[in-house]
Structure 1
Amino acid sequence: MEQFAKDVSQFVETTAEKVEALIGEGKEVVLFVGRPTCPYCRRFAPKINEVREALGKEIYFINSEDRANEALAAFRAKYNMPTVPGLLVARGGEVRVVCDSSQSVEQIKAFIG
């Protein structure tokens, strides 16, 4: 879990409400949703961090540990993000989501664009 914390420390921690506002403004958003207690998230985080370094993109992060977070639950339902890790990319109001920890760095780069 220490490595997960190190990887996500390079991301911009945010909330579902803030991301929703950015999407509403048509901004580009790359969002990673995960939690340190999820083994798949711990495998995915270093790949996202590598992509961040390679593409020079700002990555937003929401820690999904708090399962009572109703705003996050609604956000995940709206964007069809049933599991974590979740990766959301939004541009000009168009939103794409993938929830697949087995993606390679190259697949993640292609998804982010």
Structure 2
Amino acid sequence: MIKKQLLLKVILLLIFLQPTIGHASAKDYLLDNEAKAISSYQKSSHFLKSVSISEIQIMMGNKKAFYLYIGRATCPHCRNFLPRLLKATKQCNIPIYYLDSENSSLNLELKTFRNHYHIATVPNLSQFQSNRLTKTLERPSLASKEDITLFLSQ
């Protein structure tokens, strides 16, 4: 009788613990996939020319026309957009500058830049010329490689 009660308690304990164990595994799997996606984004972003706000201001002061991509590794839409952007830039052979917007709430200079040019969300792909934002790719997270190529070639 004692063995049956002990066996019943063990079975009940396992039944109650099983969802917790399974949940932890699923959570670990999602976290691992997220870490891999972030790492992949960071590696891919090296194909763009990384710039700071001060470098952007110098380019604007020199009246240079350029395309600027603003994004961050922790943004799922940015991670989906970047591969299409890289394919389009390779096809168009147009240099794209990259401004990492990670921790934008902590970076006053970045926050001021985004507010000044009304850049509310990322990913953002815009053209700048003579200290002005001249055009922005509409709904970049939904843009195809062809949409991006057309935007860059106009």
Match of 1:71 among 109, 117, 135: 109
Amino acid at match of 1:55: C
**Post-superposition shift, 1:93?**
4.6
Which structure dedicates a bigger proportion of its chain to helix? 2
Partners in 2 of 1:99 and 1:20 — Cα distance?
24
Moved over 4 A (4+): none
The equivalent residue for 1:44 is: 81
Q: Which runs of 5 or more residues in structure 1 are unaligned?
A: none
Q: SS state of the match for residue 103, structure 2?
A: coil
Contact 1:19-1:29 at 8 Å conserved across structures: no
The structure showing larger relative contact order (alpha-carbon pairs under 8 Å, at least 6 residues apart) is: 1
Q: Distance in 2 between matches of 1:17 and 1:97?
A: 21
Larger Rg: 2
**2:146 match:** 106
TM-score of the aligned structures, taking structure 2 as reference length = 0.67
Alignment-mate amino acid for residue 72 of structure 1 = L
Distance 1:99 1:85 in 2: 10
Query: CA RMSD for the aligned pairs?
Result: 1.6
Q: Number of residues paired by the alignment?
A: 113
Instruction: Kindly indicate whether the alpha-carbon contact (under 8 Å) linking 2:68 and 2:126 is maintained by their aligned counterparts in 1.
Output: yes
Residues 1:28 and 2:65 aligned together: yes
CA offsets, 1:54-112, max 9 Å, x none?
Answer: 11111111111122111111111111110011111123555222362111111112222
How far did 1:3 drift? 2.1
The answer for the alignment partner of 1:85 in structure 2 is 123
Determine the C-alpha separation between the residues in 2 that align with 1:40 and 1:84.
8
Q: Distance in 2 between matches of 1:26 and 1:6?
A: 30
Q: Distance in 2 between matches of 1:36 and 1:74?
A: 21
- Contact preservation (8 Å) 1:32, 1:86: yes
Cα distance change, pair 41–71 in 1 and its aligned pair in 2 (3 A): same
Does the Cα contact within 8 Å between 1:81 and 1:98 map onto a contact in 2? no
Identity %: 27
